[in-house]
Structure 1
Amino acid sequence: GRTIPVTDPYNMYFTPNGSRAIVVAERLHRLDFRDPHSFALRHSLTVPCSGVDHMDFSADGSYLIASCEFSGQLIKVDVASESVVGTLTLPDGAGGMPQDVKLSPDGRTFYVADMMANGLWKIDGDTLHVLGFLPTGRGVHGLYPSRDARFLYATNRGEGSISVISFATQKVVAKWTIPGGGSPDMGGVSADGKILWVSGRYNGVVYAISTRDGKVLATIPVGVGPHGLCVWPQPGRYSLGHTGILR
């Protein structure tokens, strides 16, 4: 396909109704709302935080919650008006470094990985306040729901492990350690739900991990610095972008 020039693309998402593409221009402190077909720029939204990167949408798609890793904040953006309607400084403040954001299957709680706090913040998106904190592991980074929507896999990049969180109890029910250490970062679950594929950012590999027992099924050399990883195809009705996230 043709190459489409955009400005400072760090991440890219699509709104749940398919009306907009959002290019995350992290360095410029912007969310660029674009036509999802032509990618013509509709509106550049300057955000009041530093390091905007990951996001997820409310269940009805009316707003998004985005993490700002360099200022330890979250922002709430109204999708229809393309405007910031709230800012939340996490309890760690500038000492925190929020990363991936995922909405719970029941639509009530946003989970936010904080790699400096070594755990997940639980956020009420409607009121934009902290519900609690769940320790997982050092350098937690990526968040991936299981195919049956019972569990959330959290990659602890700093210690080479995966924490398994029960959505029902909001507790860690298992921790899978990569033998010999590793740096699990971003990834996705296979279409059948049996394998969690994750990049090993500082080890130059991709891990294939069994979701049944956490066993590493394969370690595949891929070259220096693998970060984003997309597992395809995925079940779902529409794409939210990022690393192949569908609903």
Structure 2
Amino acid sequence: MSLHLTLTRRAGALTAGAVLLALAGCGTHSDKRADQALGTQGAVKPPARPADVSGLPGMPPVLDPKDVYAADRPNQLSPVVKDFPSRVYVPNTSSNTVSVIDPKTYKVIETIPVGAQPQHVVPSWDLKTLWVNNDKGNTLTPIDPRTGKAGKPVDVHDPYNLYFTPDGKYAIVMASLDRELVFRDPHTMKRVKTEPVTCYGVNHADFSMDGRYFIVSCEFSGELLKVDTEKMEVVGQQKLPFTGAMPQDVKISPDGKTFYIADMMAHGVWVLDGEKFTKPTLLPTGKGCHGLYVSRDSKVMYVSNRGEGTISVFDFAQGKVAKKWKLPGGGSPDMGGVSADGKVLWLSGRYNSEVYAIDTSSGKQLARIPVGSGPHGLAVYPQPGRYSLGHTGVFR
């Protein structure tokens, strides 16, 4: 993410009644959104009784109060995406293109021209669209993941990163240089509310299990924000206790009790109690700690250490780094995602114009694929899950 300064950013076999009531019971949600969320239930069988989590009104019910990633099991694709071809979409920040990789052959099969400085490829909440964040082009380019074709760009200012509220009601543009969180219509991207922030470099986030708040990293001022989802307001702010801190990716633990924030200058992840929002502690992982990705069984989290060409494997049960994999010949592993079957970790090589495919059982490099210049927030798609919270693919 520091390159932002230099490169300038969803039923037949299911018990639909209970789900539909949970989705349509909130007056803030349209029938269309409720239908979309219901459709995403098809991939994962809900528990015999409602989960004991009082979620954000309109949010699809939590499947398992002990695991926020319960809908992300291997190959459990939503009916919405089950027929989409499996691809890896790589935004090349300096080339103003998106490289499309066939994960079966490890080859680039298409290069799509987009706007200036594409930073991330983001799956929409309803899973139907991929949005390319053209940061300096001040546009979002939609890609139809069924056909792989790009549509007409939508004007959006400073779209460094993009998220969606768990109820599917709003898209949230992380306007990093504008110092704003901009809540927009998730389909038209029309501005609904702007929340100015006093920190600098808002870029990554993740939501609490109940969806009622989210934690945001501010890269350039080394700060964290806590934001009330319904009110769309910042309710907490703190400076990280490390001189020169540059927080990056944010990810919640499976049990929903802890947030982890990667920090490329502190060379580790900050461990934060999101509810209390008290001072976090630092867990060293490696130089240039950057991206955070949870395994399909929710047991470990892959941490890309961009500054040393390694991936740390953090064990949630042990609360520590259990192993570290080194890319042969080095590299600059940045952002990406896990394959639908959970067997391959895909990461962009930010400084090396390449993409890495890594075996999640052994850490072995399976492929090193040349792409455009400055590859950044690549999206592996489709992935398991009922709906998307944004970024390169945060599914629940």
TM-score, length basis structure 2: 0.61
Match of 1:79 among 229, 236, 251: 229
Cα distance in 2, alignment partners of residues 16 and 101 from structure 1: 16
What displacement does 1:48 show?
1.6
- 2:314 maps to a residue whose letter is I
1:112 equivalent in alignment to 2:269 = no
Structure 1 residue 130: Cα displacement = 3.1
Structure 1 letter corresponding to 2:222? G
Q: Which runs of 4+ in 1 moved over 3 A?
A: none
- Superposed CA RMSD: 0.8
- In structure 2, the partner of 1:45 is 195
1:97 matched residue in structure 2 = 246
Unmatched tracts of structure 2, length 5 or more: 1-150
Q: Name stretches of at least 5 consecutive residues in structure 1 with no aligned partner.
A: none
Look up the match of 2:291: 142
- Specify the alignment match of 1:166 in structure 2: 315
Q: Check whether the contact 1:121–1:130 (CA below 8 A) recurs between aligned residues.
A: no
Cα deviation 1:4-53 (Å, max 9, x = unaligned): 11111100000111011001110100010001122111001101201110
What whole-Å deviation, never above 9, does each CA across 1:145-185 have from its counterpart, x for those lacking one? Answer: 00110000000000000000001111000000001110000
Report the counterpart of residue 389 of structure 2 in structure 1.
240
Aligned with 1:23 (options 169, 173, 182): 173
Give the Cα separation in 2 of the matches to 1:56 and 1:246: 11
In structure 2, the residue corresponding to 1:99 is in which secondary structure? strand
What's the offset of the Cα at 1:241?
Answer: 1.1
Alignment-mate amino acid for residue 212 of structure 2: S
What residue in structure 1 maps to residue 278 of structure 2? 129
Q: Secondary structure at the match of 1:241?
A: coil
CA contact (8 A) 1:63 1:78 kept: yes
2: CA distance, partners of 1:65 / 1:221: 34
Opposite residue 224 of structure 1, the aligned amino acid is S
The SS at the match of 1:107 is coil
Q: How far is the alpha carbon of 1:132 from its aligned partner?
A: 2.4
Alignment partners' CA distance in 2, 1:109 and 1:51: 23
2:106 is matched with which residue?
none
Shift of 1:2: 3.0
Are residues 1:60 and 2:210 paired?
yes
- Of the three residues 180, 197, 202, the one matched with 2:351 is 202
Distance in 2 separating the partners of 1:220 and 1:172: 28
- Give 3-state SS (helix, strand or coil) of 2:194's partner: strand
Give the structure with the larger strand fraction.
1
Once the two structures are TM-superposed, the CA of residue 131 in structure 1 deviates from its matched residue by 4.5
Q: Which residue of 2 aligns with 1:221?
A: 370
Distance 1:194 1:77 in 2: 34
Q: Secondary structure at the match of 2:205?
A: strand
Q: Write out per-residue CA displacement over residues 51-80 of structure 1, whole angstroms, 9 at most, x where no aligned residue.
A: 110000010110110000111110001011
Q: Which has the larger radius of gyration?
A: 2
1:69 aligns with 2:219: yes
- Compared CA separation, residues 205 and 68, structure 1 to 2 (3 A): same
- Give the alignment partner of residue 185 of structure 1, picking from 334, 342, 362: 334
Q: Residue type matched to 2:387 in 1?
A: Y
Q: Distance in 1 between matches of 2:359 and 2:217?
A: 29
SS of 2:156's partner is coil
Counterpart residue type for residue 151 of structure 1: V
Where 1:127 maps in the other structure, the secondary structure is coil
For the residue of structure 1 that corresponds to 2:199, the secondary structure is: coil
Residue 13 (str. 1) matches residue 163 (str. 2): yes
Question: Contact conserved, 1:201 with 1:226, CA < 8 A, in 2?
Answer: yes
The residue type paired with residue 279 of structure 2 is V
CA distance in 1 between counterparts of 2:361 and 2:355 reads 18
Q: 1: distance between equivalents of 2:192 and 2:281?
A: 37
Using CA pairs under 8 Å that are at least 6 residues apart, name the structure with larger relative contact order, 1 or 2.
Answer: 2
Normalised TM-score (structure 1): 0.98
Q: Which amino acid aligns with 1:242?
A: H
**For the structure 1 residues 152 and 137, does the alpha-carbon distance in structure 2 shift closer, same or farther, using more than 3 Å as the test?**
same
Q: Supply the distance in 2 between the matched residues of 1:39 and 1:200 (Cα, whole angstroms).
A: 30
